[in-house]
């Protein structure tokens, strides 16, 4: 891969800046049609792109295919939404005046994306940015540049004018520094860790950049006594083990009512037995490797810490060896007896570990769930309609799954509160992130 640094990033920003005038001048239908064209090429090349992703990132091939479908759904949606970026005509304060509120593109947008969803996190930002009339400089994660380059190649084939989409791979500090330092960049959209998000926010103050930050999470998954147990178990497996647990919105801590705790643990453990750990290219594999050594070491530390504080490992708890592959696989792990002082109860594990604690009342579990610096996603399972509204409103999270462990979809607002970030991605809401309101006061 090219190891780009400061000067290549400045060149890319220059290209995006030069291309901006002509790109924003296109009609929404023209921009939408190019974006839809890129989606169509990704659809055509799904198998190739998915294979590349599995080889590069490790997730099982079926999940990689799912991610390509997810990724192109953001482009499909944005291509349509380009035509609906409306302004307002506001009743004026004098008979000879008119007040217009125009929506205009913010300008050159820097897009910084993570390795866990190497394609979808790009298109979730790029789609609405392009639809709004912005041009973009994309810096993919160092672990997964190939998936980004593949999207760039398809953008060329789709006919995007030069400079509208730029991809810089390489040194994150040099690239990020150049993005933050260049007045031509008007906006940064970042998905990644909370510490890096905080740093970007500090440094973005220099040019008062607009920011969208999708940061860490520590999702509670609550099973009330009246929950449909089949659905709770099935959702727990899907939500916890997607991408081997390397997902910002995956369940990190499970709270189960004391009256159904043992039944849930038994059923959850039995369901985990069916999960196959292995090479993502292999048939029927559900859990691939973790992304790097630091990733798997952190998972081991979390399990050891929990055990040293009294937790019991019910299943898994160790690395899994997969013949012919790197030593970076971890067994799907179920732990009981989680207490608030354990790292699994407070820090993102980003691995296939499910720690469980019992609770006795709704009030107690909502307090436990909200006792976190994070506020990205939370899940709860109940058949009580009043509780659905009460708990949904009280949970301090940007996304709440009610009897649903898989809320991600292109048309919904995705994002967090507290240390999980700022802004929303997805649906019509994403367009606000890439447009400025201009007030025109017109005296007739
Ligand atoms: C993420 O982990 O940041 C994204 C997950 C999703 O979009 O479902």
Ligand 1, CB within 6 Å, residue ranges: 116-117, 191, 214, 247-249, 408
Q: How far does CA 91 lie from the centroid of its chain? A: 40
Strands (E), 218-310: 219-223, 251-257
Active site residues: 214, 248
pLDDT at 324: 92
Q: What is the mean pLDDT of residues 361-377?
A: 98
Pick from 248, 223, 243, 225: nearest CA to 233: 223
Q: What is the mean pLDDT of residues 28-44?
A: 98
pLDDT at 95: 98
Probe ligand 1: pick from 248, 295, 430, max atoms within 8 Å of CB? Answer: 248
Which atom belonging to ligand 1 lies closest to the Cα atom of 191? 3
Strands (E), 327-427: 329-330, 333-336, 353-359, 374-375, 377-381, 399-402, 417-418, 421-422
Question: What percent of the chain shows pLDDT beyond 90?
Answer: 100
55 CA to centre of ligand 1 in angstroms: 20
pLDDT at 338: 98
- Which neighbouring-strand residues pair with 167? 138
243 CA to centre of ligand 1 in angstroms: 10
Alpha helices in 350-415 (DSSP H): 362-370, 385-394
> Measured between alpha carbons, how far is 94 from 353 in angstroms, rounded to an integer?
63
Which atom belonging to ligand 1 lies closest to the Cα atom of 250? 2
pLDDT at 347: 97
Q: What is the mean pLDDT of residues 13-27?
A: 98
pLDDT at 45: 98
Kindly state the tokens that stand for 431.
């367009």
| Closest residue CA from atom 8 of ligand 1 | 408
Alpha helices in 193-255 (DSSP H): 194-203, 229-241
pLDDT at 236: 98
What is the chain's mean pLDDT, rounded?
98
Q: What is the mean pLDDT of residues 43-52?
A: 98
Q: Determine phi and psi for 359, rounding to 5 degrees.
A: -130, 165
pLDDT at 146: 98
pLDDT at 301: 98
pLDDT at 265: 98
| Closest residue CA from atom 7 of ligand 1 | 408
Which atom belonging to ligand 1 lies closest to the Cα atom of 120? 7
The reported pTM is 0.97
* pLDDT tens by residue, 275-318: 999 999 999 999 999 999 999 999 999 999 999 999 999 999 99
Probe ligand 1: pick from 196, 219, 239, 249, max atoms within 8 Å of CB? Answer: 249
335 CA to centre of ligand 1 in angstroms: 24
Which atom belonging to ligand 1 lies closest to the Cα atom of 406? 8
Which atom belonging to ligand 1 lies closest to the Cα atom of 247? 2
pLDDT at 136: 98
CB atoms within 10 A of CB 393: 8
Q: Residue 100 contacts by C-beta under 8 Å, 6 or more apart in sequence?
A: 87, 88, 89, 90, 439, 440, 442
* pLDDT tens by residue, 384-410: 999 999 999 999 999 999 999 999 999
* pLDDT tens by residue, 81-124: 999 999 999 999 999 999 999 999 999 999 999 999 999 999 99
Core vs surface per residue 69-82: b (16+ CB within 10 A) or e: ebbbbbbbbbbbbb
191 CA to centre of ligand 1 in angstroms: 9
Q: What is the mean pLDDT of residues 64-71?
A: 98
* Residue 359: strand, helix, or coil: strand
Question: What percent of the chain shows pLDDT beyond 70?
Answer: 100
Counting DSSP H helices and E strands in the chain, the numbers are 14, 20
123 CA to centre of ligand 1 in angstroms: 12
247 CA to centre of ligand 1 in angstroms: 6
pLDDT at 120: 98
Kindly state the tokens that stand for 432.
């606000």
> Measured between alpha carbons, how far is 398 from 412 in angstroms, rounded to an integer?
11
- Which neighbouring-strand residues pair with 381? 223
| Closest residue CA from atom 6 of ligand 1 | 408
């Amino acid at each position: 891969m090219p190891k780009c640094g400061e000067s290549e990033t400045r060149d890319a920003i220059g290209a995006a800046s030069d291309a901006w005038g002509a790109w924003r001048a296109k009609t929404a239908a023209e921009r939408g049609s190019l974006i839809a064209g890129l989606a169509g090429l990704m659809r055509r090349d799904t198998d190739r792109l998915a294979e590349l992703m599995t080889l590069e990132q490790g997730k099982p091939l079926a999940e990689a295919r799912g991610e390509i479908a997810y990724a192109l759904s953001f482009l499909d949606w944005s291509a349509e939404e380009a035509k609906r970026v409306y302004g307002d005509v506001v009743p004026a304060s004098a008979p000879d005046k008119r007040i217009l509120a125009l929506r205009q593109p913010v300008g050159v947008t820097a897009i910084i994306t993570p390795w866990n969803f190497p394609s979808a996190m790009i298109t979730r930002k790029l789609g609405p940015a392009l639809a709004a009339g912005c041009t973009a400089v994309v810096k993919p994660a160092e672990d997964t540049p190939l998936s980004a380059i593949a999207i760039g190649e398809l953008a060329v084939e789709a006919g995007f004018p030069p400079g509208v989409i730029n991809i810089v791979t390489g040194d994150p500090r040099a690239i990020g520094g150049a993005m933050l330092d260049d007045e031509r960049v008007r906006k940064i959209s970042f998905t990644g860790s909370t510490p890096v998000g905080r740093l970007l926010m500090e440094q973005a103050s220099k040019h008062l950049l607009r920011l969208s930050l999708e940061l860490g999470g520590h999702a509670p998954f609550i099973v009330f006594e009246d929950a449909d147990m089949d659905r709770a178990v099935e959702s727990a497996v899907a939500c916890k083990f997607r991408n081997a647990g390397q997902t910002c919105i995956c369940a990190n801590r499970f709270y189960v009512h004391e009256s159904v705790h043992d039944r849930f643990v038994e059923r959850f453990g039995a369901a985990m037995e069916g999960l196959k750990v292995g090479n993502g290219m292999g048939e029927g594999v559900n859990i691939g490797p973790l992304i790097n050594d630091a990733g798997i070491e952190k998972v081991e530390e979390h399990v050891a810490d929990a055990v040293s504080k009294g937790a019991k490992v019910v299943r898994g708890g160790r690395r899994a060896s997969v013949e012919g592959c790197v030593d970076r696989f971890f067994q799907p792990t179920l732990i009981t007896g989680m207490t608030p002082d354990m790292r699994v109860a407070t820090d993102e594990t980003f691995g296939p570990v499910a720690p469980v604690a019992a609770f006795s009342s709704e009030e107690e579990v909502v307090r436990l769930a909200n006792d976190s610096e994070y506020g990205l996603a939370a899940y709860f399972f109940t058949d009580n309609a009043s509780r659905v509204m009460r708990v949904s409103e009280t949970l301090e999270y940007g996304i709440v799954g009610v009897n649903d462990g898989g809320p991600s979809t292109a048309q919904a607002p995705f994002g967090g509160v507290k240390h999980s970030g700022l802004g929303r991605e997805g649906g019509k809401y994403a367009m606000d992130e890439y447009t400025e309101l201009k007030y025109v006061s017109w005296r007739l």
